[in-house]
Amino acid sequence: MNAASSAVIGIGRPFLKKAAAFFFSFSIAVTYAYADEERTVLKVCADPHYMPFSSENLDGFENKLAEIIAKELNLEIEYTWFPQSMGFIRNTLRKRSETDPGYRCDIVMGVPAEYELANTTKPYFRSVYALVVNKAGPLKDIASMDDVLSLPESELDAIKIGLTERSPGALWLARNKLFTQMAPYIAQVGDPTLFINQEIYEDLSAGNIDGAIVWGPVAGYFTKLDPNLKLIAMESSVGIKLDYAISAGVRRREDDWKNQIETILQDKAAEISQLLEEFNIPVVEN
């Protein structure tokens, strides 16, 4: 190899690296642009047995939210179903389709705001944990959590409140020294066909427990299923966070797609608010 050849190779290597990087980034940009321009369906990632959020019967409030978005985009909806458990995002939003170009699905309707596994929109609602009680039970006159703490000791000692272990509700009871009032349940049961906290709901409706502290949308679903139940929204306090903002999530780097969804969520805020009200979901201001 002569000196001239060596000089060309020495210059060529960094040039080729830059060129490769350019074409790689260009191909990504083309892929995302193509995905936005050629979108023919709204591909939603969801759990088929996750009421009140989603179900294969399409009667969850996130199913209804997907319909609002699809209507605005003038698209049909296509679902990729997968259980809401560890690996959900990896097996849905981040997984390539085995049959079509692109990914299995393109949006998750409900994730925590600033969720680290997705590119999240601005929150479209904020809910809070709630106490659900039977209107005919020993807590029927409760209107706030302070009312619970104000019960005579003899009444307080007798009540049982259902909740999942390590939930904010358990922390609230512990902070208020209500250890004997806890009726703990497993957060994730083995049967995937059960809706969230179904065992707690059934025991509450049957009068086996006197109250339940559950996430706001779940509390609303309890009261939707059984009109004899009512919910009391809780409030966050120092050291006990009980309210959380919820966003839609898309893949990282898909900012145009995220912004498009975000605009729809903002434009349809009144319709979304009505939807949340239909599901009895307690909402707090952002």
pTM: 0.85
Work out the average pLDDT over 242-264: 97
| Cα–Cα dist 236/198, whole Å | 25
pLDDT of residue 231: 98
Q: What is the mean pLDDT of residues 194-207?
A: 95
- Cα-based distances in Å from 209 to 50, 180, 181: 23, 13, 10
pLDDT tens digits along 42-52: 999 999 999 99
On the question of pLDDT at 27 being above 80, the answer is no
Quick one: what percent of the chain has pLDDT higher than 90?
A: 79
Tens-place pLDDT, residues 150-192: 999 999 999 999 999 889 999 999 999 999 999 999 987 778 8
H and E: helices and strands count for the chain:
10, 13
Identify each DSSP E strand in the chain by its residue range.
Answer: 41-46, 49-50, 54-55, 76-81, 107-112, 119-120, 125-128, 130-134, 161-164, 182-185, 211-214, 229-233, 243-250
Q: Is residue 216 pLDDT above 70, yes or no?
A: yes
| Distances 285 to 127, 191, 223, 244 between C-alpha atoms, Å | 9, 35, 22, 10
pLDDT band at 86 (very low <50, low <70, confident <90, very high): confident
What pLDDT band is residue 130 in, cutting at 50, 70 and 90? very high
pLDDT of residue 16 exceeding 80, the answer is no
